[in-house]
Amino acid sequence: MDASKITSDHTEPSSMHGSSSSKTYNGGLSMLNLENPVFCCFLLWSSVLVVKMLLMSLLTALQRFRNKILGLMPQCLLKKVFPNKEDLFFKNIEVQFDDPNVERVRRAHRNDMENILPYFTMALLYICTNPNPSVACNLFRVAAVARIIHTLVYAFYPVPQPSRIIAFFTMFGITMYMAFVVGLQTLKYI
């Protein structure tokens, strides 16, 4: 194919619709770059949340071996909790599913996955709407700190309600706010 044919076939969208004014589009995916301070703030706080979620997996394993590692109890009382027969390293134990400490950490980890993953999606879409940088960065900070507090009061040091529910609804509210903003910004295109 001839290079001149390729360039002559290419027309700008504004000229196709008969519009003489040229619009510059400064939103959407162009906002997802390291020159955008909102995106950089999102990357930082998202990285914190990803590391926190990865540490929850290690905390689950630690809870399975906790007394073995700490060495605070006699051998006959050591807690080694494994949910699968193939995971049994020791001959003198049985498969166990109901250890409260392990289950608490697993529930906290599952709660993270149920809330942090939708937040990541909504936050990226929110960044594409070109939000106010100070508002967006504060939303990212508060959401990450709320999830860290949720983990602390749920998995590490259980605290009575309403501490967990406040931490949960803080991030939930932020995710809903971002969804609302994205919805309003895109409604005009429907």
Domains of the chain and CATH, by start = 37-69+78-188 (1.20.120.550)
The larger pLDDT score, comparing residue 158 to residue 185, is at 185
Task: Give tens-digit pLDDT for 15-43.
Answer: 444 444 444 445 667 787 888 999 999 99
Measured distance CA(127)–CA(186) in Å, rounded: 13
* Neighbouring C-beta atoms of residue 174, cutoff 10 Å: 21
The larger pLDDT score, comparing residue 119 to residue 78, is at 119
Please report, to the nearest 10 degrees, the dihedral formed by the alpha carbons of residues 44, 50, 56, 57 taken in order.
Answer: -150
Task: Give tens-digit pLDDT for 80-129.
Answer: 555 555 555 555 555 456 677 777 788 888 888 899 999 999 999 999 99
Query: Whole-prediction pTM value?
Result: 0.70
What are the residues whose beta carbons fall under 8 Å from the beta carbon of 24, sequence distance 6 or more?
Answer: none
Structure tokens at 35: 């020159």
Percent of the chain, pLDDT > 70? 66
Give the pLDDT confidence score for residue 42 in this predicted structure.
96
Measured distance CA(139)–CA(119) in Å, rounded: 11
* Neighbouring C-beta atoms of residue 157, cutoff 10 Å: 7
Of 62-66, 87-91, 142-146, the one with minimum mean pLDDT is: 87-91
What are the residues whose beta carbons fall under 8 Å from the beta carbon of 80, sequence distance 6 or more?
Answer: 64, 65, 67, 68, 89, 90, 93
Structure tokens at 131: 């939000």
